[in-house]
Amino acid sequence: MKIPFTKIAPHLPAGSLRFLLPAMLVLLFLAVLVWLPWQAREMESNERQEKLIADTLWVEQAIRFELNRSEEAIVALGRELAAAPPAATVQARIAQLLTNGRELRRVRWLDAAGKPLQTGGAELPGGTMPAPSSEAWELARATRVGRYSEPYLTARGEPALVDYHLPLFAAGAYTGSLAVTYDLKTLLDDTVPWWFAQDNAISLIDRDDRPLATRAAAGPGRGVYTHKRPLDLPGTTMVLATDSVKGAPRLLPNLLVGSVIALALGLLVSLGALWRHIRRRLEAEGALRQQMAFRTAMEDSLVTGLRARDLEGRVTYVNPAFCQIVGLPPEELVGKTPPMAYWAPEAMADYQQRFASVLAGTAIPQFETIFQRADGERVPVLIFEAPLVDSEGRQTGWMGSILDISDRKNAEELARQQQEKLHASARLATMGEISSMLAHELNQPLAAISSYTTGALNLLGRAADSGVALDPAILKPALEQASEQARRAGQIIRSVHEFVKKREPQRQLLDIGHLVDGIRTLIELQANKYFVAIQTSIPPALPAVSADRMMLEQVLLNLTRNAIESMQGVAPERRVLRIAAVHEAGQVTVSVIDQGHGIAPAVAERLFSPFFSTKAEGMGMGLSICRTAIEFHGGTLSHGDNPGGGTVFRFALPSQASPT
């Protein structure tokens, strides 16, 4: 089987095709940009030349009009002269003609022989007719029509003149002529308007291109725009020449073309900037896609829940970890406003209070609460709330980080249980240490009870043997003493029982004085062994503290036991244990003060470390448990030297209202 061969045309890369059309358009634009100024320059040059030609024609017509008007006045005067008027009348008419025409230098009435009969205006230099004027006079007489002479100069520096000869005839016979002399400079000044003279140098030239008269109000012409126009007067060959004072147009001939070019250059710069911006934007979009992909992967892999809310409390974003914590999909969370589906009913009031603070712009930065999953399971969470600020520094909402602290709560509960076991063990160890003293203390009241009851029985036996009635008043003291000793033994047993029994911590308002009185019997059991005296200094109006009674009793028993044992090697008169309490700076501070051997600096550094002890039989947990118990109640435990010798242990707890 043959496979047909198909020729595949080469394909340009997609990027090349994308930029090919803009590149072609830019090249076309550059070509137009080069052609446009040149074309505009040519158009302006042609426009100036055409305008110059039109203006020259207008000036030529104005000069011809002025000369025709003069010719008509001269013809009218000639007709009057044919009637032979009086000399005074002729002279007046010549004077009027000179007044009406400023360009007329002089007017002469000549006879048939060319001799002047009457003359007005300037006289001829030397009194003779110049050769060009004489030739024109002869030609006018021969042709019987008015003729102009060729221009001539009378003296160096004088303006050029031209004569007009009008032959006069009477009954067909030649009787003379009227010869009128024109001042060409004055003719130009009177007929050429000022606006034309500002832009052009106007000249009357002869057949050899020699200037006869010139008007150039703005200076000589540049020779760029010129035009010559023959005056076409009978008998003369004068030419009207104009030379513009304007130079050739520049590459940027006017504001319009300059503006177009400036806009074109700006467009080119803009195209270049746009091209560069598009390239950078594509690169930025690629980098942004990578960053967004990385951010999405990072947020999806987080075990910390993320939740964004706007200023109205509406959820705008959640990550998968948050959805896993609350057990709800994103579509059931995003866009929702409180109350939320994961709010637990028992914590609804707290939720509403915190949401109100969010709307007021004062969200709590960190707090613990519980969420309810879709299956009803409660999840303890730790929430960190912070303002969500945009790139311009404006707050657009709130961003929350949510941690599932179920494991931490379980660990805390396990630690609490272990701590309780340690406390119980410590209490049992304490009771083990005072068991011998307990037996000794119980022997005394039991022996006394035995003695009193034995004595009472003996009295009753003797009374029975003698047959004499026994007075109850004799037995009452013995029975009262036996009852008192029984009560004392029961108090000792109850104190030990309360101290060693296991129970959950229960905070209550406690009076430090009552607390010390409750365990005074146990403290005295230890103090009596070493012959230590106990002194207390507790003000009656001392504020209460919120604490667990058994934990504080454990702390006081541990501290007093350590103080008592530290004084077993000192002189008997120094064996004094002081328990003092004061209220200052919103705290109740309890001090246990001994006058023992003190604490060495090396020992003080590790004093509160677990399992560190200076006793051979000690476990090293007493002071560590004491510090943990005090810190559990928000207080501090410290120690220092007693100025009188020994050590002072202090624990401070926040004061509360007085107990009821």
Among 128-132, 181-185, 619-623, whose mean pLDDT is lowest?
Answer: 619-623
| Most confident among 101-110, 153-162, 338-347 (mean pLDDT) | 101-110
Contact at 8 Å (CB) between 534 and 523?
yes
Residue 11 has pLDDT above 60, yes or no: no
Give the mean model confidence (pLDDT) for residues 97-117: 89
d(CA 515, CA 494): 15
Worst-scoring range by mean pLDDT, 88-97, 298-307, 312-321?
298-307
Q: Look up residue 330 and give its DSSP letter.
A: G
Beta-bridged to residue 226, according to DSSP, are 243
Sequence-distant (6+) residues with CB within 8 A of 153 are: 160, 161
52-61 residue pLDDT tens = 888 889 888 8
**pLDDT (tens digit, 9 = 90+) per residue, 469-485?**
667 777 777 677 677 66
CATH-assigned architecture of domain 506-660: 2-Layer Sandwich (3.30)
Residue 512 burial (C-beta neighbours within 10 Å; 0-12, 13-18, 19+): buried
User: 411-417: long-range contacts (C-beta < 8 A, 24 or more apart)?
Assistant: 416/505
Going by C-alpha positions, the residue among 596, 590, 600 that lies closest to residue 530 is 596
Are the C-beta atoms of residues 319 and 298 closer than 8 Å to each other?
Answer: no
pLDDT of amino acid 33: 67
Residue-wise DSSP of 378-430 = EEEEEEEEEEEE-TTS-EEEEEEEEEE-HHHHHHHHHHHHHHHHHHHHHHHHH
Cβ atoms of 84 and 97 within 8 Å: the answer is: no
| Chain-centroid distance, C-alpha 471 | 105
* pLDDT greater than 80 at residue 622: no
Q: Which of 638, 540, 615 is nearest to 583 (CA)?
A: 540
| 599 pLDDT tier (thresholds 50, 70, 90) | confident
Query: What tokens appear for 151 in the block?
Result: 């221009």
3-state secondary structure of 510: strand
Phi-psi region of 47 (alpha: psi -120 to 50; beta: other; left: phi over 0): alpha
Neighbours of 40 (CB within 10 A): 20
State how far the Cα of 324 lies from the Cα of 63, in Å rounded to an integer.
106
Report helix, strand or coil for 474: helix
> Which residue(s) pair with 180 in the sheet?
107, 164
Q: What angle do CA 276, 278, 281 make, to 5 degrees?
A: 110
pLDDT tens, residue by residue, 317-338 = 888 888 888 888 888 888 888 8
The yes-or-no verdict on residue 439 having pLDDT over 60 is no
- The residue that leads in pLDDT, 406 or 41, is 406
* Cis peptide bond upstream of 159, omega within 30: no
Buried b (16+ CB within 10 A) or exposed e, 397-427: bbbbbbbbbeeeeeeeeeeeeebbebbbebb
pLDDT at 562 exceeding the cut of 60: yes
Q: Which amino acid does the sequence have at 379?
A: V
The CA distance from 361 to 329, in Å, is: 28
The predicted structure's pLDDT at residue 614: 55
Q: Please, which pLDDT band fits residue 46 given cuts at 50, 70 and 90?
A: confident
- Closest by CA to 591, choosing from 521, 643, 518, 656, is 643
| pLDDT, greater one: 286 or 124 | 286
Report the share of the chain in percent with pLDDT over 90.
14
Q: pLDDT grade, residue 190 (50/70/90)?
A: confident
Q: Has residue 620 got a pLDDT over 80? A: no
Angle value at C-alpha 633, between 631 and 638, nearest 5 degrees: 40
3-class secondary structure, 587: strand
Residue 47 reports pLDDT greater than 50: yes
Highest mean pLDDT pick, 27-36, 160-169, 446-455: 160-169
Asked if residue 157 has pLDDT above 50, the reply is yes
Q: State how far the alpha carbon of 461 is from the alpha carbons of 456, 457, 479, in Å.
A: 9, 6, 16
Q: Which CATH architecture has domain 302-404?
A: 2-Layer Sandwich (3.30)
pLDDT band at 7 (very low <50, low <70, confident <90, very high): very low
Question: Is 601 a residue whose pLDDT tops 80?
Answer: no
Predicted pLDDT at 422: 63
Residue 491 has pLDDT above 70, yes or no: no
Confidence of residue 81 (pLDDT cuts 50, 70, 90): confident
For residue 618, what pLDDT band results from cuts at 50, 70 and 90? very low
Q: Judging by beta carbons within 10 Å of its beta carbon (0-12, 13-18, 19+), is residue 67 exposed, middle or buried?
A: buried
d(CA 52, CA 227): 7
- pLDDT at site 182: 92
CA-based nearest residue to 412, from 510, 508, 549, 505: 505
Model confidence at 45, pLDDT cuts 50, 70, 90, reads confident
d(CA 625, CA 558): 9
| Per-residue pLDDT tens over the stretch 271-309 | 778 878 888 888 888 888 888 877 777 777 777 888 888
Mean pLDDT in residue range 241-250: 80
pLDDT for 611 equals 47
